[in-house]
A = this chain, B = another copy of it.
Amino acid sequence: MTVARQVSMADVARRAGVSMATASRALNNAAGVAEATRTRVFRAAEELSYVVSPEASSLARGATQRVAVVVPHISRWFFAGLLEGLEAVLRDAGLDLLLYHVGDMEDRREFFDRLPARRKVDAVVVLAFPVDEEEQRRFQLMGVDIVAAGGQHATYPYVCIDDEMAGRQAMGHLVHLGHERIAMIAAVDPDQPVSLQQGRSSAYYSSLHDAGLAVDDDLVVTVNWGGPEGALAMDRLLGLRRPPTAVYAHSDEVALGAMRSLRRAGLSVPGDVSVVGIDDHPVAELVDLTTVRQPVEQQGEIAGEMVVGLLRGEVVQRSVTVPTQLVVRSTTAPPRRAGPRA
């Protein structure tokens, strides 16, 4: 077995008996090539298993046909889902996807400092993290299109859900069941600005307000994102003199952690306390968790379409918000002592 020699377009042109220019035009399906010629060129290319050199092509053309994707977490379900949707549409559009993981603040500083994607891509999509002003200035240096997914953005086109709405769907469900002592476990990502969970938080307060329920500060605990952290938060809530009858968690992972604490404390869900999350993580279905579903892959796809549109020079929507939906399963029920309100 031996490695095939790199076949160049010159070889193809020669074999097809045309000039390189014609070969190039034919291969690129450009106008102005006789059908017969085109066929001949394609056959020649086929026979030689010719593949363009993307480097040479990019160099000559000035576009890379690549897009960078910047993510704060790769293996967290939400981000992986966005990535999956994004990859699919980029691939269909013939664009390659360069992955950059920017985990903690240091990674992040370095990324914007060195701008490793510079000159390597035609566009970049940032997944679910806010880009501050200074960082925007750096991006500017790259001179490429930018789109954001999984969160709102003031400067770039973006796709996201309405977090406040999602939160209200979750809270509304709890309120509707008759709960009056509802706790919130708010989750923040230690390496990202706080803004992310703002919508989900304010939904708590506005829902309570709308229902005429008082806010009890003891009932809201803020932790870092993650299941184990959710468990810790629940432990704290369980230590209260008057524990909640329901808890609204900012995410399913957090909710799952809370459920573990409940289970370990010998409490039943939803008998003793109801739990609702947000996301509809695949696991939610397996633990029968009531939650609010957000379409994750779809958000990735839409972001992908935005990128593709931008690169084609089209005008794209400045933002699209995809709908969320309450999914009632078995972790929520009316509180013990009070029936559902009238």
- Please provide the chain A residues from 208 to 250 with a CB less than 8 Å away from any CB of chain B in the complex: 227-228, 231
Q: How many residues of A contact B (CB 8 A)?
A: 58
A282 near B91: Cβ-Cβ < 8 Å: no
- A278-302 Cβ-contact flags toward B at 8 Å (1 or 0): 0000110111100000000100000
Answer yes or no: A137 CB below 8 A from chain B CBs.
yes
- A255-287 Cβ-contact flags toward B at 8 Å (1 or 0): 011011001100000000000000000110111
Answer yes or no: A24 CB below 8 A from chain B CBs.
no
Given contacts A4-B143, A96-B98, A260-B288, 15 further A-B contacts (CB under 8 A): A1-B140, A4-B140, A49-B141, A52-B119, A54-B120, A55-B59, A74-B80, A75-B83, A76-B80, A77-B77, A80-B80, A98-B99, A256-B287, A257-B286, A263-B288
Task: State which of B80, B96, B101 has its C-beta within 8 Å of the C-beta of A120.
Answer: B96
A98 near B101: Cβ-Cβ < 8 Å: no
A75 near B81: Cβ-Cβ < 8 Å: yes
Chain B residues whose C-beta falls within 8 Å of the C-beta of A53 in the assembled complex:
59, 119
Chain B residues whose C-beta falls within 8 Å of the C-beta of A282 in the assembled complex:
227, 253
Answer yes or no: A108 CB below 8 A from chain B CBs.
no
